[in-house]
C-alpha cells in the first residue's frame, strides 16, 4: 500500500504563490477545501493532497489577482 504525501496549508500556499492567510480565508469562506481535516487541540489541522493543491491552483487562476504595487502604471 502506497502512502500518499500530504501538505500543510503553508506548503500549499507557497506552492501556488499566495499568502497562507489568504488560503485560510478561502477555506473559511468555503471557496476551497482540503481533503483531510484532523481535530487537534480545539482547532482543525488541514492536510492537502496533490489533487487538492491542483484545485487551489485552478481556483487562484480563475478568481484571484494581486493588486499592482505600482498604481501609477509607470515602470
Residue 75 covered by a domain: no
Contacts of 16 (CB under 8 A, 6+ apart): 53, 56, 57, 60
In a domain, 32, yes or no: yes
- Got the DSSP string for 26-57? HHHTTS---SEEEEETTEEEEEB-HHHHHHHH
Cell of 75: 515602470
Domain region containing 39: 9-58
Task: Please give the tally of structural domains in the chain.
Answer: 1
DSSP 69: S
Residues facing residue 40 across a β-bridge: 43
The answer to whether position 38 is within a domain reads yes
pLDDT tens per residue across span 19-31: 999 999 999 999 9
Q: Quick one: what percent of the chain has pLDDT higher than 70?
A: 83
pTM of model > 0.85: no
Amino acid at each position: 500500500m502506497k502512502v500518499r504525501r500530504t501538505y500543510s496549508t503553508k506548503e500549499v500556499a507557497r506552492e501556488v504563490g499566495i499568502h497562507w492567510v489568504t488560503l485560510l480565508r478561502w477555506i473559511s469562506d468555503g471557496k476551497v477545501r482540503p481533503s483531510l481535516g484532523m481535530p487537534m487541540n480545539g482547532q482543525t489541522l488541514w492536510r492537502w493532497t496533490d489533487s487538492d493543491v491542483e484545485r487551489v491552483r485552478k481556483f487562484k487562476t480563475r478568481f484571484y489577482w494581486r493588486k499592482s504595487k505600482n498604481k501609477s502604471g509607470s515602470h
